[in-house]
Amino acid sequence: MTRPHILILHGPNLNLLGRREPEHYGDMDLAAIDAMLRDLASELGVAVESFQSNHEGALIDRIHAAQEAGVGGIVINPAAFTHTSIALRDALLGVEIPFVEVHLSNVYRREAFRHRSYLADAAVGVIAGFGAESYALALRALTQYIQREG
Ligand code: CA2
């Protein structure tokens, strides 16, 4: 059996991680998070690929390409698009790939506009507030979900 393939998507401004706002987002930069996820993926027996974009359309194109490539699951931190993007929601629903929504910060302890997600009710689950560990928890949980459901 081939290893399940999981796509990690990072939304806008996450390329700035590690440089500012460590009180919300921790001090790891995106390259370190992706490296941590690659190590975890080999432990879990899955393949991961990461992609970051500041552009809504580029993230949507990547989601469409994931379907063509037979990706089995998506871990996505949609960043600010969480709170604004019906287009991202439609893309994720359109490809029918199970996904987990991830946030570094606990968005429910922050401004009210961060409490609304256009994706959460369509996700397998949501993990928020554990910094970089949120991604690791999501990858573990999604791997188990795919193994169980697939
Ligand atoms: O907590 C999260 O992971 C967020 O998705 C991060 C988004 C924010 O808009 C969401 O409400 C919650 C912001 C990502 C921006 O990251 C930065 C990192 C360093 C410096 C500036 C921005």
Q: pLDDT tens digit string along 66-109?
A: 999 999 999 999 999 999 999 999 999 999 999 999 999 999 99
CA of 34 to the centre of ligand 1 (A): 16
pTM (2 decimals)?
0.97
Sheet of strand 99-103: strand arrangement: 47-52, 5-10, 73-77, 99-103, 125-128
For the chain, residues with pLDDT lower than 70 are: 1
- Report the distance separating Cα 81 and Cα 112, nearest Å: 15
- The amino acid at residue 135 is Y
- Report the distance separating Cα 31 and Cα 127, nearest Å: 20
- Tell whether ligand 1 has an atom less than 6 A from the beta carbon of residue 48: no
Q: Given this model, what pLDDT does residue 19 score?
A: 79
- Tell whether ligand 1 has an atom less than 6 A from the beta carbon of residue 33: no
Indicate which residues carry an active-site annotation. 25, 103
Angle at 53 between CA 6 and CA 32, to 5 degrees: 65
Place of tokens 């009180």: 23
Backbone angles phi, psi at 17, to 5 degrees: -55, 145
Ligand 1 mutation pick, 103, 113, 130, 137, max ligand atoms within 8 A of CB: 103
- Tell whether ligand 1 has an atom less than 6 A from the beta carbon of residue 116: no
